[in-house]
Structure 1
Amino acid sequence: MSQDNRNLVVFALIAVLLLFGWPLVQHQFFPTANPPVTTIKDGKTEVLPQPSADPAADAPAAVRNRQQVLAETPRVAIDTPALSGSINLKGPRIDDLILKDYNQTVAKDSAPIRLLSPSGAPDAYFASFGWQAQGLNPPGPDTIWQASGTKLTPATPVTLSAANDHGQRFQIRIAIDQDFMFTVQQTVANAGAAPVQVATYALVNRKGVSEDPDSWTIHIGPMAVHGGSADYDINFKDIDKAPERFDTTGGWLGFSDKYWLTALIPDQGQPFAGQFRAGANKAYQADYTLQPRTVQPGQAVTQTARFFAGAKEVRLLDAYTDKAGVTMLDYAIDWGWFRVVEKPIFYYLDWLFKLVGNFGVAIILLTVTIRGLMFPIAQKQFASMASMRALQPKMKAIQERYKDDKPRQQQEIMQLYKTEKVNPVAGCLPTLLQVPIFYALYKVLMLTIEMRHQPFVLWIKDLSAPDPLTPLNLFGLLDFTPPHFIAIGVIPILLGISMYFQFKLNPAPMDAAQKQIFALMPWVLMFVMAPFAVGLQVYWITSNLLTIAQQQWLYSKHPALKQAAVK
């Protein structure tokens, strides 16, 4: 077999692996996009349900049951600009919470996200605060607490009160801010005749695992910050086998979905023992206990904790970390190794969005900015590529002259590079610099709730999801759903076309097999990129078009390079 044929066979094998093996790899290491939010049927856009959007969602048939559960116990209403719901006075528990600003789907009449739901209802998810019974005899889970008010708002905290038969009185004062942070003060006043030991605890309990997929690049599930670092290594499967425990001072623990978070945040100056454990019927619990304290007769002890329950908004988590002193709450978003690049890109992209009002346009402007900053380097790349084109006749002559002496052939080619002052790898630098930028945009689109359900134009209703429109079923006019791996959308096809024209401007390899490889590469990459978020494809298309324009401008400024390439 000739060298050319061997190269072609190797490329064919690589292409097959990319097309058929890549989906298996990307599912674990690089989840390609959020689930599609729409589908095209009979040429019309239809909204799809989003089961992973709603941690405590109720199936339609179960709504009545949940309402019955809520009606079984006395409650204090919650009403803030961001949240609505209620506190269960039995327990007590924060077990009814709706996020006002976030809907389950892109439909205009979509219901809001339900984050917490009471025990006994489907997908129960709740938080509770209390004291361990170490000779203290605290109120139990069936105790009905007395409330100082009927509604919790940012302006009206609520104090819950209960007592035991030994002279101790218990209070839980709950306050809430304008966003998603509860502040919980737990007080024990000892009116008895003997000192008592007080060990404060808090827990968050959820039924079932998250619907969001956990992967190597995006952690979903139990999460904690302890020992000065974020722990992304705890999974639901791990705590099915055995509890996960740690001791630390400063930090937090809870459950992280892709966009939603519940986090128990003890006093950041006190040591605490945290743990995750599994219960019956696929229930999972995160809890912590503070070290016991002695309360003398006639004295009281107050310990303050916080509870975050809401959306993982980047600016909000950063503010709680930087201004409110919550250790590494911003790490609830799993930015990964490139956070130093990803967060600035997010903030710039978010600023552009606020400026123009469309995230697709903001991504285009981001691309223009990046290409503008890299323009001097790109010009050197294009000049190097053009010089390589000019050298091709000489390189071809060397290959012909020393076709039977490969070492001598390589030696002469390297000498040619040195004589003509051409660096064959100089053109790779801009591409290498774009790799972390491209990956950073991938993480921004995948992770940040600010990108969730952001439309672009026409049928693109969510830039963080794949393109739902494909010509394989005549753009939805045929009642046929193509297999996932060949359902190439319109935007990926445009990406393939833009890559084809960009590759055409690159120096053509002298090896015949390599020419065939480069001719097929854009279409292979089109299939590989098709399942990724449309926002990534918009970035790449824009970058390709700017690259083509830059290279055409270079040739217009240096006609000799183009003439040399033509020869």
Structure 2
Amino acid sequence: MQNQRNLIMAVVLTGILLLGWDVAMRWFYPQPAQKPKVEAAASAEPANGEKPKRTREGGLQNAGDIALEKKDLAQELAAGHRIAIDAPGLKGSINLKGALVDDVTLARHREGVDRNSAPVRLFSPAGTPAQHFAQIGWVGEGVAAPDANTMWQADGAKLTPQTPVTLRWTNASGQTYSIRYAIDGDYMITATQGVANTGPAPVVVRPFALVNRTDKTASLDTWNVHSGPIGAFDGSVNFDNNYSTVAEAEGGAIPFKGTANWIGFTDIYWLSALIPDANAKAEAAFRSLGQGVYRADLIYPSVSIAPGKALSQTVRLFAGGKENAVLEKYEAAGVTNFSLSIDWGWFRWFEKPIFWLLDSIFKKVGNFGVAIILLTLIVRGVMFPIAQRQFASMAAMRALQPKMKAIQERYKDDKQKQQQEIMELYKREKVNPLAGCLPIFLQIPVFFALYKVLVLTIEMRHQPFALWIKDLSAPDPLHVLNLFGLLPFDPPSFLGIGVLAILLGITMWLQFKLQPAAMDPAQQQVFAFMPWIMMFVMAPFAAGLLIYWITSNLLTIAQQKYLYSRHPQLKAQADKDQVDIDRAVTREKKATSTRKPKAR
């Protein structure tokens, strides 16, 4: 009866786990809306006060917004008065009206898995549904300063790494404002803002720089990957704020004291950030402007410029993908902790080496799926000596079984004394009962590190493996229940079992079959269910993670067969234990059936 109750409880808990897992996955990782056609422009906007729907990668989700963005963007870019941006990392243009950097696409990253899909758009002009832009300017104190409607003059037609461009505007009282834009081969734009006073009297101006964006395009902010306002202040990266905390702050602003190293907004893969000069004394703050629009700004102290004098200062704008090597390069050049804009979390000391090893292997083999398999081989190879000790410990534990049974029988009415005697037996025989758990515990940080690498590193985004696996950072796209895409429906995530999930369940089942059987029949039932439970649980995870686990299972099976060949007595004992357990289960079933009351 006890075993039957355990079986029923296991089934109930399995059902709760599967349903709960589906709810959790839908909460943390909602599926992106299907890309609508242009004709969907009439789709209704979300109701007032409703939070915008967000997905893991971000971007507009409302069909009406997507259509309107396409229309508005075409009109804005067709209006002219723009300076083209043409660099290896960034493409787009600078708007001469307001000197706004408001048209930026990322040349190295595509919207979809298809290599012919459009490049990722990071910046869009003000007023468009996906508005996201940077502005460099001044606030004049008793003197005219340029604003968002000022039309600037440029000394060049295209901004490239070889050709900086300077914008100029002169007011009626003799002050000439200038912004010199320079760009590198990655994602950094350097803006040198200057004021030359040719007027008869001193003037006072206050420089500023800002990044403005809507939260409609924000990626999902989860417990393990931050999305939203971000910055480094006094050398420490701050992940404390999201869009809602800024909107709910007193006055709709969160100012920061101390030195601002950099400030901006992050999505899971993208970052827009302002970086002041190291000796600049700028006030930094996040601000809510209402209607889901936010601003990160640097406001400098007011400066007085005497007649015939000029002042200038430099601020850098990063607008691009969070590629670890690029961020580390900028960090080495003086941008404090810039690589930590990738939300590695508390265990970055372990995650970053795993990422470095995986990326290094990828650079040799050219395929991240193969790199994951080779990483698994390395991890299992390093832990092989530990596995050998594990099997030796298991052999010793098997040898102690008769003595342990004798102690359990002798002290069956005194559990405390029984445990003391068993511990003394372990100590006397120099056996560690936890030695068999060590390889599992050692794999946990590797597994978690690979999980984080797959979740948050842009290097893994849209990386193919082979056959139908086109994106290792996404779940297996082929589901058994819809006949691998032939039937026109998408099963819920907990039933979205793909080929990789099935292979995971089979390899785990084979691995458990080779392990010495648990002495308790109830534990055996749990182990019999576990592979198939894990098949459902792991199905929504990234394909790369399943490839790691399947490879690890196959290597464990091969390792177990090899070590059994080295310890034949352990295999023989395991077979004998399995026979004894099967007999015990059969006897208990017979005893249970004879105890059932007869029907009247």
TM-score by length of 2: 0.86
For 1:342, give the aligned amino acid: E
Q: Quote the Cα distance in structure 1 between the aligned partners of 2:536 and 2:33.
A: 17
| Shift of residue 37, structure 1, vs aligned partner | 11
Q: CA 1:396–1:11 in 2, change beyond 3 Å: closer, same or farther? A: farther
- Matched with 1:202 is 209
1:110 aligns with 2:117: yes
- Matched with 1:540 is 549
Q: Quote the Cα distance in structure 1 between the aligned partners of 2:458 and 2:31.
A: 11
Q: Quote the Cα distance in structure 1 between the aligned partners of 2:400 and 2:474.
A: 44
Do the aligned partners of 2:227 and 2:268 also contact (CA within 8 Å) in 1? yes
- Matched with 1:321 is 331
1:244 aligns with 2:254: yes
- Matched with 1:42 is none
Q: CA 1:489–1:428 in 2, change beyond 3 Å: closer, same or farther? A: same
| Shift of residue 55, structure 1, vs aligned partner | 4.3
Alignment of 1:469-480 (within 5 A): 469-480=478-489
Alignment of 1:113-152 (within 5 A): 113-152=120-159
1:556 aligns with 2:565: yes
Alignment of 1:466-545 (within 5 A): 466-545=475-554
Q: Which moved more, 1:361-370 or 1:16-25?
A: 16-25
| Shift of residue 559, structure 1, vs aligned partner | 2.1
- Matched with 2:17 is 18
For 2:286, give the aligned amino acid: F
Q: Quote the Cα distance in structure 1 between the aligned partners of 2:30 and 2:514.
A: 31
- Matched with 1:41 is none
1:73-109 CA-to-partner distances (Å, cap 9, x unmatched) read: 5111111112211100111100111112211111243
| Shift of residue 467, structure 1, vs aligned partner | 0.9
| Shift of residue 343, structure 1, vs aligned partner | 1.2
TM-align CA RMSD: 2.5
Alignment of 1:384-395 (within 5 A): 384-395=393-404
Q: Quote the Cα distance in structure 1 between the aligned partners of 2:417 and 2:486.
A: 61
| Shift of residue 170, structure 1, vs aligned partner | 0.8
| Shift of residue 388, structure 1, vs aligned partner | 2.8
| Shift of residue 16, structure 1, vs aligned partner | 4.0
1:471-526 CA-to-partner distances (Å, cap 9, x unmatched) read: 22232333343222122111111111111122223332222212211221222222
Unmatched runs of 5 consecutive residues or more in structure 2: 36-53, 577-600
Aligned-partner SS, 1:354: helix
Q: CA 1:105–1:340 in 2, change beyond 3 Å: closer, same or farther? A: same
Determine which of 332, 344, 354 is the counterpart of 1:345. Answer: 354
1:27-72 CA-to-partner distances (Å, cap 9, x unmatched) read: 67xx57997999xxxxxxxxxxx98657479735643332212233
- Matched with 2:165 is 158
| Shift of residue 457, structure 1, vs aligned partner | 1.4
Q: CA 1:257–1:288 in 2, change beyond 3 Å: closer, same or farther? A: same
| Shift of residue 130, structure 1, vs aligned partner | 0.3
Determine which of 437, 444, 468 is the counterpart of 1:459. Answer: 468
Determine which of 347, 364, 374 is the counterpart of 1:355. Answer: 364
Q: CA 1:219–1:390 in 2, change beyond 3 Å: closer, same or farther? A: same
Do the aligned partners of 2:86 and 2:92 also contact (CA within 8 Å) in 1? yes
Q: Quote the Cα distance in structure 1 between the aligned partners of 2:466 and 2:24.
A: 31
For 1:85, give the aligned amino acid: G
Do the aligned partners of 1:36 and 1:466 also contact (CA within 8 Å) in 2? no
Q: Quote the Cα distance in structure 2 between the aligned partners of 1:26 and 1:54.
A: 16
Alignment of 1:366-445 (within 5 A): 366-400=375-409, 402-445=411-454
Q: Quote the Cα distance in structure 2 between the aligned partners of 1:34 and 1:332.
A: 25
1:290 aligns with 2:300: yes
Do the aligned partners of 1:275 and 1:287 also contact (CA within 8 Å) in 2? yes
Determine which of 77, 84, 96 is the counterpart of 2:103. Answer: 96
For 1:166, give the aligned amino acid: S
Unmatched runs of 5 consecutive residues or more in structure 1: 39-49
Q: Which moved more, 1:545-554 or 1:52-61?
A: 52-61
Q: CA 1:105–1:333 in 2, change beyond 3 Å: closer, same or farther? A: same
Q: CA 1:115–1:265 in 2, change beyond 3 Å: closer, same or farther? A: same
Higher-Rg member (1/2): 2
- Matched with 1:43 is none
Q: Quote the Cα distance in structure 1 between the aligned partners of 2:174 and 2:495.
A: 72
Do the aligned partners of 2:29 and 2:56 also contact (CA within 8 Å) in 1? no
1:307-349 CA-to-partner distances (Å, cap 9, x unmatched) read: 0011111100010001x21111111100001111111111211
- Matched with 1:47 is none
Do the aligned partners of 1:148 and 1:159 also contact (CA within 8 Å) in 2? yes
Do the aligned partners of 2:493 and 2:539 also contact (CA within 8 Å) in 1? no
1:104-163 CA-to-partner distances (Å, cap 9, x unmatched) read: 111243111111111132311111100122234211221111101011000000000011
Q: Quote the Cα distance in structure 2 between the aligned partners of 1:354 and 1:174.
A: 34
TM-score by length of 1: 0.91
Q: Which moved more, 1:173-182 or 1:204-213?
A: 204-213
| Shift of residue 5, structure 1, vs aligned partner | 5.8
Q: Quote the Cα distance in structure 2 between the aligned partners of 1:469 and 1:36.
A: 18
For 1:234, give the aligned amino acid: N
Q: Quote the Cα distance in structure 2 between the aligned partners of 1:479 and 1:269.
A: 60
Larger RCO (alpha carbons 8 Å, 6+ apart): 1
| Shift of residue 239, structure 1, vs aligned partner | 1.6
Do the aligned partners of 1:463 and 1:533 also contact (CA within 8 Å) in 2? yes
Do the aligned partners of 2:25 and 2:493 also contact (CA within 8 Å) in 1? no
1:258 aligns with 2:268: yes
For 2:18, give the aligned amino acid: L
- Paired-residue identity, %: 56
1:443-484 CA-to-partner distances (Å, cap 9, x unmatched) read: 111111110011111111111111122222232333343222
For 2:189, give the aligned amino acid: F
Q: Quote the Cα distance in structure 1 between the aligned partners of 2:176 and 2:557.
A: 75
Q: CA 1:71–1:479 in 2, change beyond 3 Å: closer, same or farther? A: closer
Do the aligned partners of 2:517 and 2:574 also contact (CA within 8 Å) in 1? no
Q: Quote the Cα distance in structure 2 between the aligned partners of 1:380 and 1:294.
A: 75
